[in-house]
């Protein structure tokens, strides 16, 4: 039986509890709960050593551990906090709370026995106190995710005495110091962190060095290239401003290296064809924008790669035969986008990487028929190439396929009827700017997964299929510049998430009737019906329904109207994000609430006209105006009346663009002590 905790420590804990409030929004972890709720001085729970989050020494009874992470704590910690009376603490974890942007008090020095200190994501701000320097026994320090500043003294002085550190999390915090026992250093995403990368201590134990997204410049330190870091497992120097020449073969001599990322930096990589030394078993290799000019020869010997990205590397010609034999049993993501590749040196009925889930070949010069992916594929992007022929029938059997991006090629034939049925997992279907013809299949069944459909700039005919109403997740529908006929598809109004509806430059006709209720198209932000053959009035009820177009953020948003949709796609641990953006630019809008005056020198809007048979409907320029082309012959009632009276209101769609970007992957990267 361990001794009861000391009265003064029990009192200090209760005072600390009383100094803070409980607020569920203070912690982001879904499993967060207020641990201090169990802290009481009466009954069986009076022994603080039994309290949730409190750990006591078995012999002395002193409080040596306090874990209040994700405890829904809200309030400020000041220099008088009773927390600093717990002088026997060895472990303190206050992560994932909200301490109201208070500074870390200098009284932190009182906790001189601390081995582990975690204040991450707890809304601390201000200068990191120099008194942390006095915590010389620290083995682990985590200050990530706060708004901390480094002035005088700088962090270099704060940590030079912390020579026992093995784990250091200071993302968004400057660091420059000699830490001979350091194993893990991550200071990623510090765009204001400038200067030169310091030399690393000879014989350093550093295993992981992540500098992505900082602003280091100059030549890389000699200690990286001269093999002093023999223990290095992960190296990420991406998106900095380094220069000079780096011989890639020097890095490949790091026998334990599993992750290498050198993207976005001004490096020339010497592609030595004659390397004979044993090479590391890389699992993740990202060399984006590194001016390679050819496929790195060392890839011939890599049989364990899981992720490989060689985007924007000036690769040209055919993808070599030996490349197709690399990591055939392990590769899950391959991206060769933004190069000058023209084809494959050896043809394969099915691409040879059995586990391939994501293939990105967009923006090359690839021609011929579409390469057939393995059954595991869920993300297939080959837009902006010169592929020809039809979509192979085998694509109907790809049960995991979620993103199919074939836009801007020379593909032809009819649309496969399988792409929208319940057996299909496709959520993004972009076939824009090809030569597809025939009708859009009437095969969109209940349970359809589609969220983005872009069939624009093809030769499609017939009517818009009513079965599209089964795709209840649909957010984007772009059918512009085809030969589609029929009437306005009012039945799409039941789609709860539809945000963009583009039907311009087709052969749609007839009168657009009033909506059946006031909830049709509840989230629509952009509608483009221009260059059709509609006639009559656009019912004002639609404008009342389209509340998602309301703009209450002032003038700026009247000039640039955007509808952006972004969602993550998860598949077996890999996270991808799909983005589709559409922008409208105002080229003539004037009058209140804008600062620009109209041509007659007056900045007031003309009075709204009355639509026959209905009450006056005011023209509210807090609304994002819907683009309806004048060439359609459609009378826009009140809205068009105001437009024509001022002769200054002209809304044009300037730019439609689709942007696909992988934001992250949860591949196994084997982070040491992550």
pLDDT tens per residue across span 416-439: 988 877 678 899 999 999 999 999
**In a 3-state reduction of DSSP, which class is residue 563?**
strand
Asked if the bond preceding 153 is cis, omega within 30° of 0, the reply is yes
* Spatial distance between the Cα atoms of 624 and 551, rounded to a whole number of angstroms: 6
Which stretches within 553-618 are classed as H helix?
556-559
pLDDT at 358: 94
Amino acid 443: pLDDT? 87
pLDDT at 70: 94
* Stretch among 227-241, 381-395, 580-594, 640-654 having the lowest mean pLDDT: 640-654
pLDDT of residue 155: 52
pLDDT value at residue 142: 86
pLDDT at 581 exceeding the cut of 60: no
- What's 592's DSSP letter? T
Q: State the Cα–Cα distance between residues 191 and 189, nearest whole angstrom.
A: 6
Of 625 and 367, the structure prediction assigns the larger pLDDT to 367
Q: What is the average pLDDT across 270-287? A: 74
DSSP code of 127? E
Residue 297 has pLDDT above 60, yes or no: yes
**Cα 278–284–286 angle (5° rounding)?**
105
Q: Could you give phi then psi for residue 315, rounded to 5 degrees? A: -75, 140
Q: Is the pLDDT of residue 555 over 50?
A: no
Angstrom CA distances, 384 to 410, 434, 560, stand at 10, 10, 27
Dist. CA 441–CA 439, nearest whole Å: 6
Task: Report the pLDDT value the prediction gives residue 157, as an integer from 0 to 100.
Answer: 61
Which helix (DSSP H) or strand (DSSP E) does residue 245 occupy?
strand 245-246
Flag whether pLDDT at 590 surpasses 50: no
Mean pLDDT calculated for residue range 48-57: 90
Would you state the pLDDT for residue 537?
A: 75
- In tens, the pLDDT along 386-420 reads 999 999 999 989 999 999 999 999 999 999 988 87
Q: Which pLDDT band holds residue 235 (cuts at 50, 70, 90)?
A: confident
Q: Measure the CA–CA gap between 178 and 172, rounded to whole angstroms.
A: 19
pLDDT at 579 over 70: no
Structure tokens at 103: 């500074």
d(CA 369, CA 367): 7
Provide the pLDDT for residue 289. 87
DSSP summary character for residue 627: B
- Which tops the pLDDT comparison, 457 or 537? 457
How many Å apart are CA 503 and CA 338, to the nearest integer? Answer: 30
Mean pLDDT of 326-331: 94
Q: Which residue has the higher pLDDT, 315 or 535?
A: 315
Determine the average pLDDT of the residues in 203-231: 64
Highest mean pLDDT among 18-27, 329-338, 570-579: 329-338
In the predicted structure, residue 210 carries a pLDDT above the cut 80: no
Region 285-301: mean pLDDT is 88
- Whether residue 472 is predicted with pLDDT greater than 90 in this model: the reply is yes
Would you state the pLDDT for residue 557? 38
What is the reported pLDDT for 128?
82
Asked whether the predicted pLDDT for residue 666 surpasses 50, the reply is no
- For the cut 60, the answer to whether the pLDDT of residue 2 exceeds it is no
304 vs 538, more confident:
304
Q: What pLDDT does residue 191 have?
A: 64
pLDDT score, position 447: 83
Q: What is the pLDDT of residue 252?
A: 76
pLDDT at 488: 92
Task: Using pLDDT thresholds of 50, 70 and 90, give the confidence band for residue 552.
Answer: very low
> What is the total residue count of the chain?
674
**CA dist 624 → 31, 557, 562, 606, 641 (Å):** 40, 8, 10, 18, 17
Three-class DSSP labels, 353-406: CCCCCEEECCCCCCEECCCCCCCCCCEEECCCCEEEECCCHHHHHCCCCCEEEC
- CATH of the structural domain 7-140, one choice from 3.40.50.1000, 3.20.20.150, 3.80.10.10, 2.60.120.10: 3.80.10.10
For residues 524 and 363, what is the distance between their CA atoms, to the nearest angstrom?
31
Pick from 311, 290, 308, 297: nearest CA to 363: 311
**CB of 209 closer than 8 Å to CB of 234:** yes
Task: Decide: 360 and 576 in contact? Cβ < 8 Å.
Answer: no
Would you say residue 553 has pLDDT above 70?
A: no
CB 325 within 8 A of CB 352: yes
pLDDT tens for 496-514 read: 999 889 999 999 999 888 8
Between 223 and 59, name the one with better pLDDT. Answer: 59
What is the H or E stretch that residue 645 is in?
Answer: helix 637-646
The answer to whether residue 670 scores a pLDDT higher than 50 is no
Q: What are phi and psi of 510, to 5 degrees?
A: 90, -175
Distance from C-alpha of 512 to C-alpha of 541, rounded to nearest angstrom: 11
Where does the pLDDT of residue 352 fall: very low under 50, low under 70, confident under 90, or very high at 90 and above?
Answer: very high
Residue 570, sorted as left (phi over 0), alpha (psi -120 to 50) or beta, turns out to be beta
Pick the residue with more confidence: 198 or 293? 293
- The residue whose two tokens read 């997964």 is 449
Name the 3-class secondary structure at 594: coil
Rounded CA gap, 323 and 329, in Å? Answer: 13
In this predicted structure, what is the pLDDT of residue 575?
44
Task: Judge whether residue 556 has pLDDT over 80.
Answer: no
pLDDT band at 618 (very low <50, low <70, confident <90, very high): very low
Tokens of 551: 């703009």
Which strands sit side by side in the sheet containing 574-586, from one edge to the other? 560-571, 574-586, 651-661
- Token pair belonging to 56: 């006591």
Tokens of 599: 């041509």
Q: For the chain, what is the mean pLDDT?
A: 75
At residue 28, does pLDDT exceed 80?
yes
pLDDT band at 562 (very low <50, low <70, confident <90, very high): very low
User: When comparing pLDDT for 302 and 161, which is higher?
Assistant: 302
Side-chain-side CA neighbours of residue 662 (13 Å): 27
Model confidence at 129, pLDDT cuts 50, 70, 90, reads: confident
Q: Report d(CA 634, CA 362) in Å as an integer.
A: 39
Centroid of chain to Cα 550: 26
Q: What is the mean pLDDT of residues 233-247?
A: 73
| pLDDT surpasses 50 at 9 | yes
Strand partners, 657: 581
The Cα-based distances of 506 to 322, 430, 489, 533 in angstroms read: 48, 18, 13, 8
Please compute the mean of the pLDDT values over residues 129-153 and round it to a whole number. 79
């Amino acid at each position: 039986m361990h001794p009861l905790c000391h009265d003064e420590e029990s009192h200090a804990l209760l005072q600390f509890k009383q100094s803070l409030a409980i607020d569920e929004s203070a912690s982001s972890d879904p499993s967060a709960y207020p641990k201090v709720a169990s802290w009481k001085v009466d009954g069986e729970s009076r022994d603080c050593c039994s309290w949730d989050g409190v750990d006591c020494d078995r012999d002395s009874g002193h409080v040596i551990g306090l874990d209040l992470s994700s405890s829904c704590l809200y309030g400020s910690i000041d220099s008088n906090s009773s927390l600093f009376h717990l002088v026997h603490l060895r472990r303190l974890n206050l992560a994932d709370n909200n301490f109201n942007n208070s500074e870390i008090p200098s009284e932190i020095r009182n906790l001189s026995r601390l081995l582990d200190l975690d204040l991450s994501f707890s809304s601390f701000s201000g200068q990191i106190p120099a008194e942390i320097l006095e915590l010389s026994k620290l083995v682990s320090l985590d200050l990530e995710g706060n708004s901390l500043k480094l002035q005088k003294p700088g962090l270099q002085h704060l940590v030079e005495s912390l020579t026992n550190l093995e784990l250091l999390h200071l993302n968004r915090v400057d660091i420059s110091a000699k830490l001979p026992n350091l194993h893990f250093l991550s200071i990623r995403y510090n765009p204001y962190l400038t200067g030169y990368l310091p030399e690393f201590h000879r014989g350093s134990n550093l295993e992981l060095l992540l500098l992505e997204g900082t602003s280091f410049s100059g030549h890389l330190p000699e200690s990286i290239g001269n093999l002093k870091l023999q223990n290095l497992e992960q190296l990420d120097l991406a998106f900095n401003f380094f220069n000079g020449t780096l011989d890639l073969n020097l890095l490949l001599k790091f026998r334990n290296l599993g992750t290498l990322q050198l993207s976005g930096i001004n490096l020339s990589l010497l592609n030595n064809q004659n390397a004979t030394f044993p090479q590391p078993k890389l699992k993740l290799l990202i060399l984006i924008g590194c001016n390679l000019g050819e496929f790195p020869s060392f890839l011939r010997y890599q049989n364990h790669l899981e992720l490989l990205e060689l985007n924007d590397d000036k690769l040209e010609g055919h993808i070599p035969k030996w490349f197709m034999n690399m990591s055939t049993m392990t590769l899950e993501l391959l991206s060769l986008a933004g190069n000058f590749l023209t084809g494959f040196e050896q043809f394969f009925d099915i691409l040879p990487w059995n586990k391939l889930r994501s293939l990105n070949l967009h923006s090359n010069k690839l021609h011929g028929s579409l390469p057939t992916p393995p059954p595991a594929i869920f993300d297939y992007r080959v837009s902006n190439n010169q592929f020809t022929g039809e979509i192979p029938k085998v694509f109907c059997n790809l049960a995991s396929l979620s993103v199919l991006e074939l836009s801007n090629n020379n593909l032809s034939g009819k649309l496969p009827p399988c792409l929208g049925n319940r057996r299909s997992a496709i959520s993004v279907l972009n076939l824009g700017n090809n030569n597809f013809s025939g009708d859009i299949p009437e095969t969109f069944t209940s349970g359809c997964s589609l969220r983005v459909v872009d069939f624009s700039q093809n030769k499609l005919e017939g009517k818009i299929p009513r079965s599209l109403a089964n795709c209840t997740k649909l957010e984007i529908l772009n059918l512009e510049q085809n030969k589609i006929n029929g009437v306005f598809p009012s039945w799409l109004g039941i789609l709860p998430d539809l945000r963009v509806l583009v039907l311009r430059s087709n052969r749609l006709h007839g009168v657009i009737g009033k909506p059946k209720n006031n909830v049709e198209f509840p989230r629509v932000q952009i509608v483009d019906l221009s260059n059709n053959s509609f006639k009559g009035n656009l019912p004002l009820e639609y404008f009342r329904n389209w509340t998602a177009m309301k703009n209450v953020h002032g003038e700026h948003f009247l000039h640039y109207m955007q509808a952006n949709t972004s969602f993550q796609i998860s598949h077996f641990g890999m996270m991808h994000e799909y983005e589709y953006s559409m922008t409208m630019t105002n080229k003539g809008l004037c009058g209140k609430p804008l600062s620009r005056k109209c041509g007659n020198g007056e900045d007031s809007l003309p009075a709204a006209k009355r639509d026959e048979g209905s009450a006056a409907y005011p023209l509210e320029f807090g609304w994002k105006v819907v683009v309806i082309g004048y060439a359609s012959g459609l009378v826009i009632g009140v809205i068009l009346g105001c437009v024509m009276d001022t002769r200054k209101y002209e809304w044009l769609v300037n730019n439609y663009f689709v942007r696909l970007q992988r934001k992250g992957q949860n591949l196994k990267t084997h982070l040491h002590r992550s």
